[in-house]
Chain A
Amino acid sequence: MAEFANLFHGFATVLAFQDVNIFGTTMYLPFNVFIMVVGIVLGVIIGVLPGLGGANGVAILLPLTFSMQPTSAVILLSCIYWGALFGGAITSILFNIPGEPWSVATTFDGYPMAQQGKAGEALTAAFTSSFIGAFFAVIMITLLAPMVAAFALRFGAAEKFAVYFLAFASFVGLSKEPPFKTLAAMLIGFALATFGTDHMTGSLRLTFGSNLLLPGFDFLIAVIGLFGIGEILLTMEEGLKFKGKDAKINLRVVLQTWAKLPQYWWTYLRSCIIGCWMGITPAGATPASFMSYGIAKRVSKNGKNFGNGEIEGVIAPETAAHAAGKSALLPMLALGVPGSPTAAVLLGGLLIWNLQPGPMLFVENKEFVWGLIASMYLGNVVGLIIVLTCVPLLAAILRIPFGIIAPIILMFCAVGAYTVRNSFFDVIMMLAFGILGYLLKKTNYPLAPLVLAMVLGDRAEEAFRQALVGSGGNLGVFFSNALVSSIMALGFIALFWSVISAGISRVRGTNTATAG
């Protein structure tokens, strides 16, 4: 089993001691473990604070990692992501305010539990479920990612484009937003990615004679604006007041809750599978959590009690959200197609560190890939310990008035936007994207496809044009062999899924009608 040898090598990379210069003193310590703890603590705080989420938290901090070693940098940023996944649950349960979109479903039963004085139990269940979901996903990544990558090595330009097509088509077909709104948001992302220099011919396009548009739009600016500023504007509109329940977590509560959890093994397994599936297809953590909650509600024998503080109603969405959040990294690493906005930002990071995400990464940068995967195992354990011990501290952060938090977040957004390319124009664009994000969110346009299209636009275009160059302009190249045809066919099924499923249920409906 070459994977296990690689994985152990990865653990060695993460746990290695090295000389580190901190605050002027040189220390000999496992730097990557230190980075991991810092990342998770930062991530949990980011997840707890409204207006700062996984995607834009990582986007703001990305420029700080330019000078770090890629392995340490990606450990830091991915741990922020794991931390944010954990943090979202805290606000949902204690304050009935989802810190992240994927923890909305956790509020349904988590907050009622807190109202009944069972906050500690709800939090323990949420964190443990997150841990289990994430652990399942990491094992899946360990086993599947190398195989997927090896398979994808055979992909030519046409197959690459077909994979992008599948990814984006699933967005349109599976999104809970209206399909044409999803499509419009995605195409705006693609269009924004084309501004500036054309990477294939080197010629300029869509600059309209302006020097400001020469470098094009950076997706990090869009992420910080759409998710950061836009979120703050939304929070202001809602006039948020934090009135939280007190959290008391002690060892006794944790152990008591743990003793209860094994009876829900089937909920766990089902939620893990839903999460992994939704994470690999780019649906992401948010729909995964809703779907898992919905199914659990339907099949559980306590289904009627869902919404009144049923522990299963916390387990199902949290497990699925974390499984989805982690497995979103599988297609990013193995195919270069991120499964979530945060994974997209991480992919942007890889490009900046001169690492080409995709199948070649597993061949050329083994140490990096397996270091990252090993850090996911360790980060998950570290994360669980940190959140279980620090809940009261984290809840205290939320009691800081929004009037203080908001300008600080705004400052960090501006700093982050500026540092991406040392461009003042980018800071202005950040505000523009912020207002755009507010309007899009209010009118039900999903933001994730826009961001993913901005990240992948250049690569999708390159694959599309290369395939066409190879075929002399014949569109038949996308159906020229079994592999590419089947990926394209899957893409079309995903694209028209809402139409297809409506058709199926109609046929079923008529069948039962005639039968009855």
Chain B
Amino acid sequence: MSGDGNAADQGPAHRTVEIGMAIAMGLFAILVIYGAWIAGVGWGFEGPKAGFFPFIIGVILLGATAINLRNGLQTSDTKVFAEWSQLKQVWAVTWPIAVFIALVPYIGIYVASVLLIAFFMMWISSYGPVRFAIIAISVPLITFLVFERWFLVALPKGPLEAMLGY
């Protein structure tokens, strides 16, 4: 049953994503116009008010997205945006990043990085545990030295660093 007609089985249609993007941008444009309207779009005491420029930008953006939307609707392109298996790959990196970011305020960026690197190495590469540990621990450790010691840039730290006196 494979063939040209079955593009929908392989992944979302490019056209759908294209239309979705245009609609999302249109909504963003409306948000900007609304926000600019609240801030005042007219001519104030000292010249144009704060919302003057964003209002113009929002209106042109709305116009441009309308044309992009029309082009998206008119296209007869049946190509696939990406195959489901490819999107799965993308998702497989997106959620670990999200978890990594969510963990940073609690355990600090260094420990979270150790976990992130360890996770990826376990998942993608087939390294033995020793090499594994060396890379997962040494990279954040070097980063720690570079940032906290040499450049004196403070990054988010968690209980482990506090225990060690940082």
Contact = CB atoms under 8 A, between A and B. Distances in A.
Interface of A: 23, 63-64, 67, 178, 180-181, 183-184, 187-188, 190-191, 194, 198, 200-201, 203-208, 229, 232-233, 236-239, 401-404, 406-408, 410-412, 414-415, 418-419, 422, 424, 427-428, 431, 434-435, 438-440, 442-443, 445, 461, 464-465, 468-469, 473
Contacts of A237: 82, 86-87, 89-90
A443 B143 CA distance: 36
A286 to B, nearest CB: 22
B17 A236 contact: no
B83 to A, nearest CB: 9
B56 to A, nearest CB: 9
Contacts of A236: 89-90, 92-93
Interface string B21-36: 1000100110010011
B60 A183 contact: yes
Contacts of B125: 401, 403-404
A201 B43 CA distance: 12
A404 B139 CA distance: 10
Given A205-B36, A233-B94, A180 B71 contact: yes
A206 B39 CA distance: 7
A466 to B, nearest CB: 8
A201 B46 contact: yes
A411 B140 contact: yes
A402 B124 contact: yes
Interface residues on B, range: 35 or more
A184 B25 contact: yes
B160 interface: no
B153 A63 contact: yes
Contacts of B116: 407, 410-411
Interface in B137-165: 139-140, 143, 147, 150-156
Main secondary structure of the interface of B (DSSP, over half): helix
B121 interface: yes
Interface of B: 14, 17-18, 21, 25, 28-29, 32, 35-36, 38-39, 43-44, 46-54, 57-58, 60-61, 64-65, 67-68, 71, 81-82, 86-87, 89-90, 92-94, 97-98, 100-101, 104-105, 109, 113, 116-117, 119-121, 123-125, 135, 139-140, 143, 147, 150-156
Given A232-B93, A239-B86, A406-B120, A418 B109 contact: yes
B147 A205 contact: no
Contacts of B61: 184, 187-188, 191
B156 A187 contact: no
A236 B91 CA distance: 9
7 contacts: A180-B64, A184-B25, A184-B64, A198-B39, A236-B92, A415-B143, A442-B81
Nearest to B117: A407
Contacts of A232: 93
Contact of A190 (B57, B68, B135): B57
Contact of B71 (A178, A239, A434): A178
B43 A473 contact: yes
Contact of B50 (A180, A205, A411, A424): A205
Nearest to A234: B90
Given A180-B71, A431-B97, A461 B53 contact: yes
Contacts, number: 176
Nearest to B67: A180
Nearest to A419: B153
A443 B43 contact: no
A233 B93 contact: yes
B155 A419 contact: yes
Sorted nearest first, the 3 A-B pairs with minimum C-beta distance are: A403-B124, A205-B39, A206-B35
Nearest to B98: A431
Given A414-B109, A443-B17, A201 B50 contact: yes
Given A194-B54, A411-B140, A424-B104, 12 more contacts: A187-B61, A191-B61, A194-B57, A205-B54, A206-B54, A237-B90, A407-B120, A408-B117, A422-B154, A435-B94, A440-B21, A442-B17
A418 B100 contact: no
B151 A468 contact: no
A184 B65 contact: yes
Contacts of A183: 60, 64
Contact of B90 (A411, A414, A419, A438): A438
Given A184-B61, A239-B86, A465-B53, A414 B121 contact: no
A178 B156 CA distance: 42
A423 B57 CA distance: 28
With a 10 A CB-CB cut-off, give which of B46, B60, B64, B121 has the most chain A CB atoms: B64
Q: Which of A198, A407, A434, A440 has the most CB of B within 10 A?
A: A407
Contacts of A422: 154
A427 B155 CA distance: 12
A370 to B, nearest CB: 27
B81 A414 contact: no
Contacts of A191: 28-29, 32, 54, 57-58, 61
Contact of A411 (B21, B105, B113, B152): B113
Contacts of A434: 97
A378 to B, nearest CB: 25
Contacts of B32: 191, 194, 206
Contacts of B155: 415, 418-419
A142 to B, nearest CB: 33
A311 to B, nearest CB: 35
Contacts of A63: 153
Given A183-B60, A237-B82, A411-B139, A401 B54 contact: no
B75 to A, nearest CB: 11
